[in-house]
Structure 1
């Protein structure tokens, strides 16, 4: 008989020294931008810091940022969970096709998506367009983990609930949703952090948030004090998101222990709702993929600046792929000890270390870049304008993408398997490479794919930190689109999508498994 186990907070709070040291070093790297903001605030002094924060302008930015973040998170949660339920748990035809289409928007960067909309119509400028376009870009971050959990949930729990007299909605909220909670909250957290730090799409849509204001401060007046204080407010927003997710996530264990195997899921028949469900999914695909792809095709054909410089395209594509692979491997490797510690050794210290890795993702790339430049100039001058520093920026910015996937995989892995391996005489390193890594390989692959997608399309940090002469598809696209040379920008956007597509496909395979 299968049994679900719930545990409290504390399983082995004695931390392994080597893994604790590795996790602590990763946390220190992640906190470099925060230290930069804190030191900058101290140098300003209390009076000037308060004067820079306590302004009507900051109030407007706060309202814009909070409104966008909340609406985007809610919309992404509803769309991502609803789409995952339709695809994985109903009789919706073409499950494999819909799974691929739901992950495909990750291959279209948010600033390319916004380009596709605003280059066709200025009606998308402002809050409404910002919420629409960022939601269409980021809802797969909720869809993918929720879909994976829905596919792996044992239907016996739902059947028992129905046998006890609970209806389908009550069963969903009392039985299914608690099992989805870690994946759902992790995905929503990623969406919120991305919205706090989003720059390219919002700058194009002329919707001002803290991120766009920080960029404008440095670009126009190089007002470092004002930009630092705005970044400090963003850090507070990130901390609030992390605390909210931590409180809502709880500590219930979802790993399944027991004899036997889960039965095959039985699809819920849609009946008369089949046509509306299919129509809703088609509309979602058209909005998320159809509009930007149509726009790119339109400008490729009609743009007066359209050109295909094969040498430049090949060089920038190779650079983007190389940096994407380096960033994915480095970030996933750095995230592993932190994720392992947070799951296997629940405690206050492990939670603080794990939460610290999310802070950099909420800050604009320009703040992360300036923090690393300051560190290099004052402490490590040999690293200034090197690929190592650029990859470090990617790790700081995109650590949460790898962390969420690794945490989900490790949470589903019963710790009793580690105990059994040690009881049979395996050393810790042997347990790691022979038991843990093979069983969470899918989580590692998903995390690396998510990071690769982010690195290939990263813009602001690459502009500031890339070695002299290094150009990527994202920076070239931004340069041409900012100059209103839409035809010249389109080939770089198309290449970005083509390069990102295999990573998005890998994510769909993991969801189907």
Structure 2
């Protein structure tokens, strides 16, 4: 009997318990479509095909392609260098190359804006440097899991390291690289903070401008629907490529490839890695140090503490609500296998494809019309966090529950305990560490979230992210620097955990890529 089949006959109660999560996940998408079409499809199509929408489409696709291609090239090359070569200090290089995950895109945007690098160049630099790890992580995992036999045969036939890489290694890791590139593209499509600070108009900034600049919110809703369609297409393509794996040659325990000695090529490779690290970490951290020094005598400690407390409060509420909603869905996904269960899980993952700005816009429309007491209040913001970050929590709960032995539950039931009591006294305690880890990751992601927080936060309330965005928008870089530094410190937690999970455990599971996605988004 499999873990999924053990409890299949009694899934009805869990399906009912999972319905609130489904409603929270699909509500923004459904209501956004209804709001975009409430004046008729003729109005919808007239807005969707007008020149303004076309301009935003060109800008978005141009940035998306440029960042994705750059990240794939740099991430693949860096992953190969730190996993398959005999470069000195490979562990240090690995840590430095993964650390850009600790720099939210809007913090990188703050750094480049303070150096007067704006527009497309600034957005390209900020988003490329913060997203290279999203390609490096899955490619490094694929390299560590790949059987080195073919590469060894190639080198034994006289092929050098570069030709072996092109002819043998690259075709085998290409699916992971493309999946990482699609993930980067999805992140760029979602991004609001960097493009808004650096004044490069993509869909997300266009939505915010249309929302703030007119009493008629229909154009903002229509652009939001177009953005969601593109995001869903990218999410589906990324999921499809992530499922493409290469098989090992023969049975047995995986062994590591013999490191390639680069000899004369070591210098240019080291210079290349150094350039990536300098641009990815040196620029933002240099800007932070500079502006912290400039404003060290004028730091408003009271405001900083108050903003941090507000951030912790909102993030804690968001994490608690999200994990409570995720438990029934995660348990169903781990213990049952049926079409209704798969449909519930798929619906709950809607937030994976929804940019924060579109979720916030939909909930603003919903709050104004149907939930006036919640409009610009904490409950609506928490609802937005739950809709966006349910996939993180569900993935953690599902993995944790799946790792809990079904046999222990069977023994408890054989002693006369009901299913609810077995879940509360056996399954949940066994899964608690994984569930807690998911809650912590949701907490950190909520603390860094920007676009939904900007639109849904209570009037007068500021988080670290919104305070940084506001102060940077008026060029108050010295005042913004302390908030940026605190955000980097918060963001460093998932980056360090990811580096450990991929490069020390050597177990490149799909969950690594999922965690990288959720931990990096903000």
TM-score, length basis structure 1:
0.79
Q: What are the within-5 Å matches in structure 2 for residues 141-156 of structure 1?
A: 141-148=134-141, 150-151=143-144, 153=145
Q: Secondary structure of the residue that 1:221 maps to in structure 2? A: coil
The yes-or-no answer on 1:372 pairing with 2:367 is no
Range 165-174 or range 22-31, more displaced: 165-174
Structure 2: unaligned runs, 5 residues or longer: 158-163, 414-418, 506-522
Structure-1 separation of matches of 2:212 and 2:197: 16
- Tell me what 1:139 maps to: 132
Report deviation, 1:207. 1.3
Partner SS for 2:298? coil
Deviations 1:133-192 (A, max 9, x none): 1111222233334445544x2x6x3326755999554442455556x47xx62x445433
Query: Counterpart in 2 of 1:311?
Result: 302
2:224 aligned with 1:231: yes
**CA contact under 8 A between 2:36 and 2:219: conserved in structure 1?**
no
Matches of 1:117 and 1:399, distance apart in 2: 32
Q: What is the CA-CA distance between 1:50 and the residue it aligns to?
A: 1.5
With over 3 angstroms needed to count, the CA separation of the structure-2 counterparts of 1:188 and 1:20, relative to structure 1, is farther
Corresponding residue pairs, total: 485
Q: Does 1:287 align with 2:279?
A: yes
C-alpha spacing 1:247/1:96, structure 2 compared with 1 (3 Å):
closer
Segment of structure 1 superposing worse, 325-334 or 489-498: 325-334
Matches within 5 A, 1:360-509: 360-376=351-367, 378-380=369-371, 383-400=374-391, 429=423, 432-433=427-428, 441=434, 445=437, 451-509=442-500
CA 1:82/1:422 → structure 2, altered by over 3 Å: closer, same or farther? farther
CA-atom RMSD, angstroms? Answer: 4.1
Q: Once structures 1 and 2 are overlaid, which stretch shifts more, 248-257 or 455-464? A: 248-257
**C-alpha distance in structure 1 between counterparts of 2:153 and 2:429, whole Å:** 41
**Structure-2 residue corresponding to 1:118:** 113
The 1:477–1:261 alpha-carbon spacing in structure 2 relative to 1, beyond 3 Å, is same
Deviation at 1:212, TM superposition (A): 0.9
Match of 1:210 among 194, 203, 207: 203
Shift of 1:416: 10
Structure 1's 365 and 280: CA in aligned 2 closer, same or farther, altered over 3 A? Answer: same
Superposition map of 1:32-431 within 5 A: 32-122=27-117, 124-126=118-120, 128-148=121-141, 150-151=143-144, 153=145, 157-159=147-149, 162=152, 167=164, 169-173=166-170, 175-176=172-173, 180=176, 185=179, 187-250=180-243, 261-263=253-255, 266-302=258-294, 307-328=298-319, 330-331=321-322, 334-335=325-326, 338=329, 353-357=344-348, 359-376=350-367, 378-380=369-371, 383-400=374-391, 429=423
CA distance in 2, matches of 1:352, 1:283: 46
Structure 1 residues without counterparts, runs of 5 or longer? 1-9
TM-aligned CA distance change 1:317 to 1:88, over 3 Å: farther
Deviates more, 1:288-297 or 1:162-171: 162-171
What's the TM-score, normalizing by structure 2?
0.78
The CA deviation string for residues 26-76 of structure 1, in whole angstroms up to 9 with x for no partner, is 233122221121111331101111111121111111111122223323333
CA distances 1:206-243 after superposition (whole Å, capped 9, x unpaired): 21111111111111223301111101101111221133
Contact residue 234 and residue 362 of structure 1 kept, 8 A: no
Shift of 1:386: 4.0
The C-alpha deviation readout for 1:386-406, integer Å capped at 9, x for no partner, is 434322212322345556778
Q: 1:143 and 1:262 mapped to 2: Cα distance?
A: 21
What's the offset of the Cα at 1:18? 4.4
Specify the SS of the correspondent of 1:369: helix
Counterpart-to-counterpart distance in 2, 1:402 and 1:116? 31
Greater Cα shift, 30-39 or 225-234? 30-39
Q: Tell me the CA shift for residue 202 of structure 1.
A: 0.8
- The alpha carbon displacement at 1:24 in A equals 4.8
Cα deviations by residue, 1:437-476 (Å, 9 ceiling, x for unpaired)? 76xx4x974x556544432222232233223443211222
